[in-house]
Amino acid sequence: MLWTIVVILGILWLLGFLTATAGGFIHILLVIALIVVIVQLVQGRKV
């Protein structure tokens, strides 16, 4: 499910280059998604 969210946010991020109005919000969501993925990877290695 996490990867699904990351893929959706990635697509929205790419669309953000086409639509300048929502671009800033989409980029913030992408950064949050990347932080979540990194945290999940780090926690997964500790188990």
Q: What is the DSSP string of 12-44?
A: HHHHHTT-SSSHHHHHHHHHHHHHHHHHHHHHH
Tell me the residue type at 34: L
Report pLDDT for 17: 65
8-state DSSP, 1: -
Report pLDDT for 2: 76
Block mean pLDDT (10 aa), the chain, length 47:
78 70 69 84 72
Tell me the residue type at 16: G
CA–CA distance, 13 with 11 (Å, rounded to integer): 5
Report pLDDT for 18: 66
The neighbour count for residue 24, using CB atoms within 10 Å, is 10
Report pLDDT for 20: 60
Report pLDDT for 46: 58
